Structure 1
Amino acid sequence: MLSDAPDWIMERRRELGERIADRRAEAHHTQESPCEATGLSRATLQRIEAGETDPRYGDLLRIGEVLHTEIAVLVG
């Protein structure tokens, strides 16, 4: 977690998490189904969606694949 990150980074991280959560909800997924498909823990996905952590590039690719969403859409 990067608690000393500048405000603009924190805001972008929150926006990314919101887009992931929105896409997941639109696809009618619980948090558990993307976790099972990607190998991420539920706690990790919760932190990503809450904007509390920077996801790894590979994690974003896997999340995008499960949600049928290009990574560019997720990162905005």
Structure 2
Amino acid sequence: MPRDLDQWIIDRRRELGDRVRRLRLGADHTQESFAEATGIDRRTLQRIEAGTSDPRYSDLLRIAAVLDQRVSVLVD
């Protein structure tokens, strides 16, 4: 279901996605290996990195744990 989102929310989702992608690549993970390590579907990770979805908090916790980062690093 499409929603009308404020531009600042869209921008922040893209920033989150860029940050996750940069940290994932820095940790030498492919999307496939990252999906396996986090237990998150690869398509879901693709949408998070593209900034087209609102990730669940539990997904952010899993991503942060695999990257050995705090959630605040992802969303700041």
Which bracket does the TM-score occupy, shorter chain normalised? over 0.9
Corresponding residue for 1:53?
53
Amino acid at match of 2:63: I
- Percent identical pairs in the alignment equals 59
Q: Deviations over 1:22-58 (max 9, x none)?
A: 0001111101112112221111000000000000000
CA RMSD of aligned residues (A): 1.3
- Normalized against structure 1, the TM-score is what? 0.93
Give, in whole Å, the separation in 1 of the partners of 2:69 and 2:49: 15
Distance 1:62 1:34 in 2: 10
Structure 2 partner of 1:44: 44
Q: Could you tell me how far apart the structure 2 residues matched to 1:69 and 1:33 are?
A: 18
**Paired residues, number:** 76
| Structure 2 unpaired stretches of 5+ | none
4+ residue runs over 6 A deviation: none
